[in-house]
Structure 1
């Protein structure tokens, strides 16, 4: 099958869940005998064309960036020119301008369009902008698609509220390679090492994580925090860390190769996700697969995944976040119980190979 994948981000150009999903999905589909091309955003330090992981990349330089979104009108011409050259076009996240372009092309006439929903709301746009976009651009984009993939039933319910036809929506869990993400021989609970991976953006709730860590230090002065990621709010977070005199206890890295990320999980006592908005982040599944207990915010789409494998806390509540982390750091038996449960859950329900196969089945049904 010939597949065109369209996404604003791709790993390792951009570190994040969507970009990594795009890379891993494309690589796996190629290994299964499919041809995959990717249209994505470019930059001056990246070639316009590149072959990597068995798939081909074509990059389009953005005209501008708006709220972290690459605006690439030049991609429209290539999409239109090649609109019937592929069996299926698969775009990632309705929040990206590139996916809006795919919707326009589908309305004009093209090969079937599949859109994966990586979370309904933007983590960078202000609420008033998000509300306007959801009622207009998002509805148009979803309605143009032949199929929409959601990770959870709660995400599907959100789309149904937007009057997206039920028959267009398929629920396919996000997944990870549980043979790659494995537990350490000896857990790191006594290290009191916390791990956060994500983007420095408002929707990630990083402010509340720093506040929680500051509170936590009074009970666990030897606790440390490792933060991996980039983003528009990083300088603000760095300033906050300095203002609270936490620099010596917080390690910040912009990028860790995926080949080395397993060791990072294995060396962590707790994985923390304080997000205000999320899809189903791979990072939670990766941590759980490594038997690392999770503390995360009680977002609807995460409850079924994390409950019994971690602790859930309200959004924007650094005190409860700190107390929940402290509870795990003080109780190795509880940490081990939740970590082991997380591994069992991911192995049983979140296989990456299963995710890829179900996605290919959607393509096949559209092409028939």
Structure 2
């Protein structure tokens, strides 16, 4: 890893981690609320890194896969041995069982390296999974290990990865003989993530997505909190073709408001930059989220009927009257984009 991390990077990560914790704490009920910034930063580190590396954006669901003893002692009052594994995520899409070992240092020390010993501490749990038994495990960890064992017992090919996560400036040497032996013996990938890599994760941000629309005046309603407010909300009736067009990767199509050819749009792919600041990404569990998931599982054909709204957040919108004031043309720079909302 050629990138070098500094004291300021360490401080910025602490600030970000504390924000993550505060965001989650708004809707969470801690049995014992963490005292002191360092513990809040440490717990926020779990949330931030798991959101960044796992295919999950709901902080409540991320919290469900955190097995760290101290974290669960504060959150749910259960103090079970985490066996050196602080989180377990089972990715059904990539067929990967992701095991996480976290180390969060209170102070920055230039040249401090991740400890390879932490990788070996985690092997007890790896043995449980590979031997197909969760005997001796308790709480969340037992449930997640049972799920991992079930996945490995299917005919699907699954891989197992151990992620060594820390806010230290120097990664472990993955070419070290002991680490190579660990990888070979358990047929498990060992991945190091520390401050230099996390620094790039904090700074990466996709460019703005621009699109143009033509909307009938009777398909538009606007709202603002008061007459001098610069923030405004619009409720707009759009057809599916326009939604596909304004979120696709093709820049020309996004600005071609006359395009209604479904055969062209059908081959386009979404520009995932529009999901970067998903406005629903941090919504805590609710009866609406559960109802949405139930619709997908049990009545997928009625999903659109029950959930037919989308939220688009734009940094800038320019509106111009067209077609003899019967329609309005909109040019928008979209920074945050959509999630289905319950009606």
TM over 0.5: no
More helix by share: 1
Question: Scaled by the length of structure 1, what TM-score is found?
Answer: 0.25
Question: Scaled by the length of structure 2, what TM-score is found?
Answer: 0.26
Larger radius of gyration: 2
